[in-house]
């Protein structure tokens, strides 16, 4: 059997040690019997008339279409929410119906994170809003319900760390939990 290919999505591509983390993720994939597809592995020579960002976009799309599954790092990025590029890619996989696995390195649910950083007030109908009057989703989810929903629709959850732990953006504990889920999913 050819090894299943897993697309490795997440904002760690913005970390100074992005390539090292990618190499570690790919090595872990191999240990679990998978092949990891990491965005930064793309050759990035832009075609004539194509800008660098368009080239990266096209290369990532090609990797996503090639992958059998995706593992998504939905840790908060520059704020309370997941990186929108990673969210985009989760939606892309959702539409293709491919298996998705996800983790976050934030222990607290979205509601608590927003309340802590943007304030919390009661709103009509038993709802809650932040100090700007924006509704705060209160479903106990790790992030926006569309992100958690993509996992729940496949019978899974976004993997979260223990409340006591404070893993950094590049911590791979949750990533390994996702690989174990993926192995169960693919039946080996």
Residues making contact with a copy of itself (CB under 8 A): 11, 13-16, 18, 51-54, 56-58, 60-61, 77-85, 87-96, 114, 118, 123, 129-130, 133-137, 139, 141, 143-150, 152-153
From the list 91, 109, 108, the residue with the least C-alpha distance to 100 is 91
Other Cβ atoms less than 10 A from the Cβ of 168: the count is: 9
Distance CA 140, CA 154 (A): 18
Closest of 86, 145, 83 to residue 110, by C-alpha: 145
CB of 132 to a copy of itself, least distance (A): 8
139/188 with CB nearer a copy of itself: 139
61 versus 184: smaller Cβ distance to a copy of itself: 61
Which 3 state secondary structure label does DSSP give 5? Answer: strand
Nearer to a copy of itself, 39 or 161 (CB): 39
Q: In the complex, what is the shortest distance from the CB of residue 87 to a copy of itself, in angstroms, rounded to a whole number?
A: 4
**Distance separating alpha carbons of residues 151 and 171, to the nearest angstrom:** 21
In this complex, which beta carbon is closest to a copy of itself, that of residue 32 or of residue 105? 105
């Amino acid at each position: 059997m050819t090894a299943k290919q897993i697309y490795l999505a997440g904002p760690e591509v913005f970390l100074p040690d992005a390539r090292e983390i990618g190499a570690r993720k790919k090595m872990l994939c191999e240990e679990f019997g998978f092949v990891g597809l990491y965005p930064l592995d793309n050759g990035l020579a832009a075609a004539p008339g194509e800008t660098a960002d368009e080239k990266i976009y096209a290369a990532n799309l090609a990797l996503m279409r090639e992958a059998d599954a995706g593992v998504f790092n939905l840790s908060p990025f520059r704020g309370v929410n997941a990186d929108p590029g990673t969210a985009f890619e989760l939606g892309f996989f959702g539409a293709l119906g491919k298996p998705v696995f996800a983790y976050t390195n934030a222990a607290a649910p979205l509601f608590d994170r927003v309340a802590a950083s943007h304030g919390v007030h009661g709103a009509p109908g038993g709802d809650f809003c932040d100090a700007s009057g924006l509704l705060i989703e209160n479903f106990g989810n790790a992030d926006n319900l569309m992100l958690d929903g993509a996992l729940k629709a496949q019978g899974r959850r976004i993997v979260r760390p223990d409340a006591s732990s404070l893993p950094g953006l590049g911590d791979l504990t949750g990533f390994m939990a996702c690989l174990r889920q993926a192995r169960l999913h693919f039946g080996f």
